[in-house]
Amino acid sequence: MDRKHKHSVKLNDGHYMPVLGFGTYAPADVPKSKAAEATKVAIDVGFRHIDSAYFYQNEKEIGEAIREKIADGTVTREEIFYTTKLWVTFLRPELVRPALERSLKKLQLDYVDLFLIHMPVAMKAGEELIPKDASGKFLLDIVDIRDTWAALEKCKDAGLTRSVGVSNFNHKQLEMILNKPELKYKPVCNQVECHPYLNQSKLLEFCKSKDIVLVAYSALASHRDPNWIDKDIPHLLEEPILNTIAKNHNRTPGQVALRYHLQRGVVVLAKSFNEKRIKENFQVFDFKLTPEDMRAIDGLNRNFRYAKLEHAVDHPYYPYSEEF
Site of interaction with ligand NDP (CB under 6 A) = 23-25, 51, 118, 167-168, 191, 217-223, 237, 252, 254, 269-274, 277, 280-281
- Residue closest to ligand NDP (Cβ): 23
- Residues with a known catalytic role: 56
Neighbouring C-beta atoms of residue 43, cutoff 10 Å: 23
Comparing CB distances to ligand NDP, the nearer of 134 and 249 is 249
Give me the count of residues in the chain.
Answer: 324
Phi, psi (5° rounding) for residue 302?
-130, 5
68: Cβ–Cβ under 8 A, 6 or more apart, which residues?
Answer: 40
Query: Least Å distance between CB 234 and ligand NDP?
Result: 14
Query: Least Å distance between CB 89 and ligand NDP?
Result: 15
The angle subtended at Cα 26 by Cα 236 and Cα 28, nearest 5°, is 130
Comparing CB distances to ligand NDP, the nearer of 16 and 22 is 22
**Which residues lie across from 20 on neighbouring strands?**
268
96: Cβ–Cβ under 8 A, 6 or more apart, which residues?
Answer: 86, 90, 148, 151, 152, 154, 155
Measured between alpha carbons, how far is 93 from 131 in angstroms, rounded to an integer?
Answer: 19
Neighbouring C-beta atoms of residue 60, cutoff 10 Å: 16
Measured between alpha carbons, how far is 11 from 136 in angstroms, rounded to an integer?
Answer: 41
The angle subtended at Cα 100 by Cα 97 and Cα 106, nearest 5°, is 140
Comparing CB distances to ligand NDP, the nearer of 181 and 226 is 226
Query: Least Å distance between CB 220 and ligand NDP?
Result: 3
Query: Least Å distance between CB 2 and ligand NDP?
Result: 28
Please tell me what DSSP assigns to residue 235. P
Comparing CB distances to ligand NDP, the nearer of 168 and 199 is 168
Measured between alpha carbons, how far is 64 from 47 in angstroms, rounded to an integer?
Answer: 16
Query: Least Å distance between CB 173 and ligand NDP?
Result: 14
Query: Least Å distance between CB 271 and ligand NDP?
Result: 3
Query: What are the distances in angstroms from CA 7 to CA 4, 17, 95, 187, 224?
Result: 9, 9, 35, 21, 29
Maximal CA-CA distance, the chain? 56
Comparing CB distances to ligand NDP, the nearer of 186 and 251 is 251
Comparing CB distances to ligand NDP, the nearer of 124 and 223 is 223
Task: Evaluate whether 307 touches 225 at the Cβ level (below 8 Å).
Answer: no
